[in-house]
Each structure stands twice: as C-alpha cells, then as structure tokens.
Amino acid sequence: MDAIELPTENFMARAENLSDEGREIGLKTDEEIVRFVANNTFVDGESLNEIYPQVEEFLTAYRAEAGKLDQVLDFNLFRKTPNSLVKQNNL
C-alpha cells in the first residue's frame, strides 16, 4: 500500500468497526426495551410476556434479520480507489 492507500484503509477499517459496534449496541438496546416493556406491562395481572410468549421468537427473528445488514452496507465498496478500479474502454 502506498502513502495514500494506507491511511485510507486504516480509516475505513475503523469506520467499519464503529459501524458494527453501533449496530450491535442498537440491537442490544432494542432487545432490552422490548423485554422491559413485555415484562413490566401487565394486563389483568399478567405481563405481556406471559400473554404473548412470541416476544422471544420475535426478538430471535429480529436479530437474524439485523444480521443481514452487512449485505446492505458493504464497506468494501468505499475502499475502491482510482488505482483499484478497472478502467473501462469507451464504446
């Protein structure tokens, strides 16, 4: 790597890590909020978690879908520099 590519790669690696970290923190926060509400909201003496046991199934599916975000935001696309792109011939 040259003097320009190395700092760019270091920056992109750190940005990707921060993005992953933020996404994980967001998922944990969402799960905690859903669990808190489900465990502490009562209808006729029963918590929503008791009434709707599907809450855990929902959270499992939610986490699985969130795992697909890596396919949506691919930091490798940002790493493409003029030196790494293939030049196309004009037709």
Tell me, what's the pLDDT at 54? 94
| Number of domains making up the chain | 1
| 38-53 pLDDT tens trace | 999 999 999 999 999 9
In a domain? residue 87: no
Q: Could you report the average pLDDT of every consecutive run of 10 residues in the chain (91 residues)? A: 78 88 91 96 95 92 80 70 58 55
Enclosing domain of residue 52: 5-77
In a domain? residue 69: yes
In a domain? residue 17: yes
In a domain? residue 15: yes
Contact 81, 5 (CB under 8 A): yes
CA distance 26 to 3: 35
In a domain? residue 86: no
What residues pair up with 42 in beta bridges, in sequence order? Answer: 47
Residues in CB range of 8: below 8 A, 6 or more apart? 79, 81
| 5-15 pLDDT tens trace | 788 888 888 98
In a domain? residue 90: no
